[in-house]
Structure 1
Amino acid sequence: MNLRALEPEDLEFLFALENDPDIWGVSDTLAPVSRHTLREYLEHASADFYVVRQLRLVITTDIGSPAIGIVDLFDYDPLHQRAGVGIIILASERRHGYARQALELLKEYARSVLRLYQIYATVGADNAASLKLFRAAGFRRVGIRHGWLRTADGWVDAVEWQCLLQASTIIGESA
């Protein structure tokens, strides 16, 4: 398993991924994305995480192998040393444990390189696969936001997950 930076050659992979209506519900997307927009995004994708406050990494099964997914860190908060996590694996590559392995690599990178204290995720209560993934990856379920996510069928609760990456004393932590 490997996480790598985006490359210009990832254009068609990103185009297919971003324009898959089956994942729009988990990525807060409502419309297709053009190749032009993605080309411009790729030109600036190497910008400093600490400046743009987000990072997108490509998931591959091995160095040099084709992309099978994307993992994002977003909403980086420098004061509190935390960022949100999003992950998507191509439908044809799911159920092989790749997402779990990618999250483990991301956690180590976020802890040791980016020096984040914690990462978090928001998952629709109807997304059983992602709920299972974050639990298996060592995230702790910390809350529910009721009726938080709008879907084609109505409103869905959001399950909030948190993963502490650094050991420290937490003031006011309940036993």
Structure 2
Amino acid sequence: MRTRFCNGYRSTMPEISIPRPPLTDGVVTLRLWRAADVPQRLAGYTDPQFERFSLPSAGELTEARVRAQLEHDERERLLGTKVGLAIVDAADDDRVWGGCSLYDIDLEHRRAGVGYWLAAHARGRGAATRTVGLLAQWAFAGLGLARLELTCSPENIASQRVAERAGFVREGILRSHIRFGDERRDSVLFSLLPEDSRGTE
């Protein structure tokens, strides 16, 4: 595998190609983040539910930091470790519903993590399940992955239901899995394989 350098980083992983046309099911569309999305992305990051269940950020979140995140997203994609996408209304792709990603991509072992978040106005309409389904189809058919993992807080019942609706299988509890603020937090682990009931839809 060819060694590449991206902004000073050494990588032997191939960059991840963005699906074109963007992934969509006619209700939600998953596309690259745009500079114009920064205010909506910042609003999502400062939503109380996002702050409760997602990894806390060090320091105050500002539009400048969110703009910097766009560059970080692209750097990770070029390094082949993560693809971050905006979840938007399929009828109006300027209206951001949230964000999603395949992260910790390991092409050697053909696995990755699945992450997502939704803005308050997009919740309760099945957008998260649709998003996870689109990511899974692309991960298996487009990237050739053999395993997806989804983790969430044991208190995040909504995300656990999303995982189950998307066909993921609950595997158990990862004790003291991540640092969260000044404490450590357990995570519920779910997985999806191509042969699982909805993994190939």
Distance verdict in 2 for CA 1:47–1:114, change over 3 Å: farther
Candidates 20, 36, 56, aligned match of 2:64: 36
* Unpaired runs of at least 5, structure 2: 1-27, 197-201
Regions of 4+ moved over 6 Å: none
Paired residue total: 166
Matched-pair contact (CA < 8 Å) for 1:140–1:163: yes
Distance verdict in 2 for CA 1:151–1:6, change over 3 Å: closer
Q: Distance in 2 between matches of 1:126 and 1:17?
A: 20
Q: Per-residue deviation at 1:50?
A: 5.8
SS in structure 1 of the partner of residue 115 of structure 2? strand
- Identity across the alignment (%): 28
Q: Distance in 2 between matches of 1:28 and 1:151?
A: 6
Q: Per-residue deviation at 1:78?
A: 2.1
Deviation by residue 1:122-145 (Cα, 9 ceiling, x = unmatched): 111111111111011010111212
Matched-pair contact (CA < 8 Å) for 2:56–2:180: no
1:56 aligns with 84
Q: Which amino acid aligns with 1:54?
A: K
Matched-pair contact (CA < 8 Å) for 2:149–2:190: yes
TM-score by length of 2: 0.73
Matched, 1:108 2:137: yes
Q: Distance in 1 between matches of 2:180 and 2:77?
A: 31
Q: Per-residue deviation at 1:156?
A: 5.4
Q: Which amino acid aligns with 1:22?
A: Q
TM-score by length of 1: 0.82
* Unpaired runs of at least 5, structure 1: 168-175
1:139 aligns with 168
